[in-house]
């Protein structure tokens, strides 16, 4: 028996968790998702994730057929069903089954599935020695075309960026927006430390309004840093004292090389380490019990 997957109102074994080839999530990337983490039996910022899921759905005129409270219970039950205390959770809502046309009105019922498993995005050693990052040629989606604030199933922009970073021999790719400012990386927000300042691109630059990002901003203020959302260029990154990425799956991981430029000392910075330690304390106390 493998993992138990929640699929449209019931739990099924992962081998039997199947959706139709006519589902518009598969055919057109028409849907939304969230990634969450549980730590020691508590789901970190569950309701903040759910609110973002429903905002993404509203933005694409997708009505999720369960309430936020019901969704919270589904997520908790999925983790509990799989007997996991530390897990990565993926919640997906697609437009549902339709025909081969684009018209979403042909999809009468959305598909919902929830997976609770584990994830290891980067090898553990990189949390100490840091990642290498390169600027990739693909630009971040224009807000006017597909707003990066929407966590949609159409992730081809991110996948192309990841391919370009891999082909360049780097662990991560750095997105610029169409104006040449820093947006984010392929799946994480980005922060830099300059003296006593903690800086990160604003949401309107093409950055996702990350849950971990928000937690790090909170932590930065609590430990006495001047935190600012600011338009940044590659010049700012090259000359920063420290740099790190944040995300639900990645948590907090240092960056020590960008486009061949050593960042700071070229090692895990003291403030990055401090923020990561504070984050690990936060997830132990700021969570919804399963």
Catalytic amino acids? Answer: 151
| Alpha-carbon distances of 288 from 90, 93, 186, 204, 283, rounded to whole Å | 16, 22, 28, 30, 10
Give the span between the Cα atoms of 94 and 230, in whole angstroms: 34
| Alpha-carbon distances of 259 from 139, 143, 186, 202, 235, rounded to whole Å | 16, 26, 15, 22, 11
Closest by alpha carbon to 257, among 274, 275, 273, 245?
245
User: Which residue in this structure is represented by tokens 């028996």?
Assistant: 1
Tokens of 24: 């518009």
Whether 90 and 75 have beta carbons less than 8 Å apart is answered as no
């Amino acid at each position: 028996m493998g993992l138990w997957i929640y699929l449209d109102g019931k739990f099924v074994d992962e081998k039997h968790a199947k959706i139709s080839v006519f589902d518009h999530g598969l055919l057109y990337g028409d849907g939304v998702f969230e990634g969450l983490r549980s730590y020691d039996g508590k789901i970190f910022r569950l309701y903040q994730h759910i609110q973002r899921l429903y905002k993404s759905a509203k933005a694409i005129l997708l009505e999720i057929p369960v309430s936020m409270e019901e969704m919270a219970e589904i997520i908790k039950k999925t983790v509990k069903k799989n007997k996991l205390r530390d897990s990565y959770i993926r919640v997906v809502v697609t437009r549902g089954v339709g025909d081969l046309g684009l018209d979403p009105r042909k999809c009468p019922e959305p598909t919902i599935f929830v997976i609770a498993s584990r994830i290891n995005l980067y090898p553990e050693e990189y949390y100490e020695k840091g990642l290498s990052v390169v600027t990739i040629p693909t630009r971040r989606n224009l807000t006017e075309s597909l707003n990066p604030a929407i966590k949609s199933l159409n992730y081809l922009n991110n996948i192309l960026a990841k391919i370009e970073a891999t082909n360049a021999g780097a662990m991560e790719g750095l997105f610029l927006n169409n104006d040449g400012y820093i947006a984010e990386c392929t799946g994480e927000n980005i922060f830099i430390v300059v003296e006593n300042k903690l800086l990160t691109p604003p949401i309107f630059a093409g950055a996702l309004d990350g849950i971990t990002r928000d937690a790090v901003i909170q932590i930065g203020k609590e430990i006495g840093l001047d935190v600012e959302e600011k338009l940044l260029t590659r010049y700012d990154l090259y000359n920063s004292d420290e740099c790190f990425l944040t995300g639900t799956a990645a948590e907090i991981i240092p960056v020590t090389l960008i486009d061949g430029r050593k960042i700071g000392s070229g090692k895990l910075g003291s403030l990055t380490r401090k923020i990561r330690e504070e984050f690990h304390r936060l997830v132990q106390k700021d969570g919804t019990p399963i």
